[in-house]
């Protein structure tokens, strides 16, 4: 088992995934898993790993089934069509569309019914309550919309444990939520207010998308250009953001002459605060878990293993919500990271024979392997494939690291030196404008993305022919 540690985490993940196909929530299943573990303890060496793996698959299968039963349970669904006085906690940032304002929320009281259930809150266009606000309102319960134009809102919300929509016309704030959620709300509001002081419009929207993973302020046209250009992943918080937080903490500790262990503790604190501020996005949780495990591995003098970190991130997300496996963000995030682990180095070695600067070759290798790995998922989820991902990322790459660094530095300076923070934000606005320009330019080119099935099949055939040619050419010869 020490030689194959991936098998343990992979077995649990596999069991959690099995619950999506068949639910086995009866009590006997964990007892069988315990029996297999007992058998593994007395079995000979070659049988221990299969027995432990089987026990973990059954344990994950049982736990996943229990979690799915909990997520599918809804008290408020039996009151659809009713209206009553409601106490609501807004649990995420509101998003404004053309016809309504929507926000994730939790109902604490519906009429005389005491309940804690997640809902989607719908309000008229206009002012909206901030994240973390506790509001009172007269709300009416309704079912989410079914399949329409290729999107099933009801199924999408059900995978997040949301089964009803609460429609509200008038509301008033009566407090703020406390606990860990309240800490996350305060961190989010603080970071949102300090990353771009003085900036407005498109530049601020791009900064909020890159730093907080919140693209709600982007216009529909610009959001579509980001998708068409293959740059939309920049608006989802990823490992680069978390690595910059950790690296900044270690750099500050080094400049202050502090020991490395204090820097690692500071990195852990910074990454935890950042993950809380951004919210439960699959990419940031994966990156946060990997970063935290990396710091803990250094503190306890253990070897770092990137594949194990990736599997443990998937395990944490699936253990909380097995439906996450069906989420586009989960699939794209883990597929992109796995493709980098597997394909970056071989492609980077190939590019060494070409007259390319090192940083440019790195960007080309990463964007090429990620684009190839995520293209099938993008097609299945969004029925579109961006074709110019590599040149778009090569154009945008020079702005990303300075944009992130300046945004976080601005947030750190804002409380103690507001004029300096405003000057840095103004400078960072140009980086955000350049990023928006890259998305508009590349996403607006003819053929930037394909949407027809015929074109997708032709692209697949071309990719297979190219792969066959490359395999014959690069295959090691005797």
Q: Chain-centre distance of CA 448, in angstroms?
A: 25
Quote the tokens at residue 56: 């973990």
Rounded Cα distance, 177 and 132, in Å: 6
Q: Is 141 helix (H, G, I), strand (E, B) or coil?
A: strand
User: What tens digit of pLDDT does each residue of 8-60 get?
Assistant: 889 999 999 999 999 987 888 888 888 888 888 887 777 888 888 899 999 99
Q: What is the DSSP-derived secondary structure letter of residue 144?
A: P
119-150 b/e with 16+ CB inside 10 Å = b?
bbbbbeeeebbbbbbbbbbebbbbebeeeeee
Is position 284 within any domain?
yes
Determine the pLDDT at residue 252: 85
Query: Is the predicted pLDDT of residue 476 greater than 60, yes or no?
Result: no
DSSP string, 243-309: HHHHHHHHHHHHHTT--HHHHHHHHHHHHHHHHHHH-S-HHHHHHHHHHHHHHHHHHTT----HHHH
pLDDT tens digits, 276-324: 888 888 888 888 888 888 888 777 767 677 888 888 889 999 999 999 9
Instruction: Tell me if residue 475 falls in helix, strand or coil.
Output: coil
Residue 67 sits in the same domain as residue 81: no
What integer is the mean pLDDT of 372-394? 86
Q: Based on the domain organization, do 67 and 82 belong to the same domain? A: no
- Position 226 pLDDT exceeds 60: yes
C-alpha count within 13 angstroms, C-beta hemisphere, residue 192: 21
Each residue's pLDDT tens digit, 73-83: 999 998 998 99
68 & 80 share domain: no
Q: What's residue 218's pLDDT? A: 84
Please tell me the predicted confidence (pLDDT) of residue 67: 93
**Domain-located, residue 11:** yes
Average pLDDT over every residue of 181-205? 88
Which among 293, 317, 296 has a CA at the least distance from the CA of 306? 293
Q: Tell me, what's the pLDDT at 437? A: 93
The three-state secondary structure class of 119 is strand
Q: Do 218 and 95 reside in the same domain of the chain?
A: no
* Residue 182 placed within a domain: no
Is there a single domain that holds both residue 256 and residue 389?
A: yes
Residue 271 lies in a domain: yes
Show the CA angle centred on residue 19, arms to residues 14 and 22, nearest 5°.
125
Per-residue model confidence (pLDDT) at position 106: 93
- Calculate mean pLDDT across residues 51-70: 92
pLDDT band at 478 (very low <50, low <70, confident <90, very high): very low
Query: Residue 128: helix, strand or coil by DSSP?
Result: coil
**Residues 65 and 85 grouped into a single domain:** no
pLDDT band at 473 (very low <50, low <70, confident <90, very high): low
- 183 within some domain: no
In a shared domain, residues 231 and 304: yes
Residues 219, 102, single domain; the answer is no
DSSP string, 12-78: HHHHHHHHHHS----THHHHHHHHHHHHHHHS-HHHHHHHHHHHHHHHHHHHHHHHHHHHH--SGGG
Q: What is the pLDDT confidence band of residue 181, given thresholds at 50, 70 and 90?
A: confident
Average model confidence (pLDDT) for the chain? 86
DSSP per residue over 63-97, as a string?
HHHHHHHHHH--SGGGGTT-EEEEEEEE-S--EE-
The domain boundary, picked from 30, 55, 72, lies at 72
Q: Which helix (H) or strand (E) holds 471?
A: helix 453-474
Q: Which of 177, 205, 221 is the last residue of a domain?
A: 177
Q: How confident is the model at residue 474 (pLDDT cuts 50, 70, 90)?
A: low
Q: From CA 363, how far away is CA 17, in angstroms rounded?
A: 33
pLDDT of 347 reads: 84
1 in a structural domain: no
Strands 113-123 and 165-176: parallel
Per the domain annotation, does 295 fall within a domain? yes
* d(C-alpha 69, C-alpha 57), whole Å: 18
* Shared domain check, 447 and 356: yes
User: If you search the block for the tokens 């690296």, which residue do you land on?
Assistant: 247
pLDDT digits (tens, 9 = 90+) for 79-102: 998 999 999 999 988 888 778 889
Nearest CA to 195 among 216, 182, 209?
209
| DSSP-assigned letters across all residues of 334-385 | HHHHHHHHHHHHHHHHHHTTSS--HHHHHHHHHHHHHHHHHHHHHHHHHS-E
Residues 293 and 268: beta-carbon distance below 8 Å: no
Total structural domains in the chain? 3
Point out the domain boundary residue: 148, 177, 206. 177
**Residue pointed to by tokens 């997708």:** 456
Q: For 233-286, how does the pLDDT look when each residue is reduced to its tens digit (9 = 90+)?
A: 888 777 778 888 888 888 888 888 888 888 888 888 888 888 888 888 888 888
Query: Does 138 lie in the same domain as 220?
Result: no
The Cα-based distances of 394 to 133, 391, 463 in angstroms read 41, 5, 21
CATH number at residue 94: 2.40.50
Residue 24's alpha-carbon distances to 53, 55, 73, 153, 316, in angstroms, are 18, 14, 16, 27, 20
Its domain, for residue 194, covers 189-474
pLDDT digits (tens, 9 = 90+) for 456-466: 777 777 777 77
Please, are residues 426 and 199 in contact by the beta-carbon 8 Å criterion? yes
Token pair listed for 214: 């919140």
pLDDT at 469 over 70: no
User: Does one domain contain both 127 and 272?
Assistant: no
- Top mean pLDDT of 25-29, 98-102, 107-111, 195-199 is at 107-111
Residue 48 and residue 143 share a domain: no
DSSP string, 405-461: HHHHHHHHHTTT-HHHHHHHHHHHHHHHHHHHHHHHHHHTSTTSEE--HHHHHHHHH
Is 86 among the domain residues? Answer: yes
Q: Is 62 a residue whose pLDDT tops 90?
A: yes
Q: Which tokens go with 324?
A: 């996450």
Q: Cβ neighbours of residue 21 under 8 Å, at least 6 residues apart? A: none
Cβ distance 356 to 364 under 8 Å? yes
Picking from 185, 191, 190, the residue whose alpha carbon sits closest to that of residue 173 is 185
- Is 60 exceeded by the pLDDT of residue 227? yes
């Amino acid at each position: 088992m020490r030689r194959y540690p991936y098998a343990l985490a992979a077995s649990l993940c596999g069991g959690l995934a099995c619950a999506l196909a068949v639910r086995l929530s009866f009590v006997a299943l964990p007892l069988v898993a315990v029996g297999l573990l007992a058998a593994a303890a007395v079995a000979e060496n070659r049988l221990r790993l299969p027995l432990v793996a089987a026990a973990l698959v059954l344990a994950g299968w049982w736990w996943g089934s229990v979690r799915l039963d909990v997520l599918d349970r809804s008290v408020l669904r039996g009151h659809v069509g009713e209206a009553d006085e409601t106490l609501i906690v807004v649990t995420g940032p509101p998003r404004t569309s053309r016809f309504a304002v929507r926000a994730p929320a939790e109902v604490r009281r519906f009429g005389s019914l005491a309940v804690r259930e997640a809902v989607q809150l719908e309000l008229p266009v206009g002012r909206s309550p901030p994240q973390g606000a506790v509001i009172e309102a007269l709300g009416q319960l309704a079912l989410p919309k079914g399949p329409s134009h290729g999107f099933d809102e009801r199924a999408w919300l059900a995978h997040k444990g949301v089964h009803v929509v609460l429609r509200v016309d008038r509301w008033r704030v009566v407090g703020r939520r406390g606990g860990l959620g309240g800490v996350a709300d305060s961190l989010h509001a603080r970071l949102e207010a300090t990353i771009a002081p003085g900036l407005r419009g498109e530049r601020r929207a791009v900064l909020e998308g890159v730093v907080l993973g919140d693209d709600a302020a982007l216009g529909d046209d610009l959001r579509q250009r980001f998708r068409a250009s293959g740059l939309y992943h920049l608006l989802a918080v990823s490992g680069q953001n978390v690595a910059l937080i950790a690296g900044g903490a270690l750099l500050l500790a080094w400049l202050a002459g502090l020991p490395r262990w204090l820097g690692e503790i500071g990195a852990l604190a910074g990454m935890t605060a950042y993950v809380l501020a951004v919210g439960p996005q699959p990419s940031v949780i994966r990156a946060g878990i990997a970063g935290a495990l990396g710091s803990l591995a250094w503190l306890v003098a253990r070897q770092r293993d990137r594949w194990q970190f990736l599997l443990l991130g998937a395990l944490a997300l699936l253990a909380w919500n097995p439906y996450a496996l069906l989420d586009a963000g989960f699939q794209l995030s883990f597929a992109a990271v796995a493709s980098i682990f597997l394909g970056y180095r071989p492609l980077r070695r190939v590019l060494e024979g070409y007259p390319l600067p090192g940083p440019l070759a790195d960007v080309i290798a990463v964007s090429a392997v990620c684009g190839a790995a995520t293209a099938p998922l993008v097609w299945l989820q969004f029925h579109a494939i961006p074709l110019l991902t590599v040149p778009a990322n090569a154009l945008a790459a020079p702005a990303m690291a300075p944009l992130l660094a300046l945004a976080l530095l601005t947030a750190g300076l804002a409380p103690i030196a507001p004029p300096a923070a405003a000057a840095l934000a103004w400078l960072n606005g140009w980086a955000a404008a350049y990023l928006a320009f890259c998305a508009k330019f590349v996403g607006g080119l003819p053929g930037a993305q394909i949407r027809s099935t015929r074109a997708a099949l032709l692209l697949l055939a071309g990719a297979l022919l190219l792969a066959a040619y490359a395999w014959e050419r690069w295959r090691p010869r005797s």
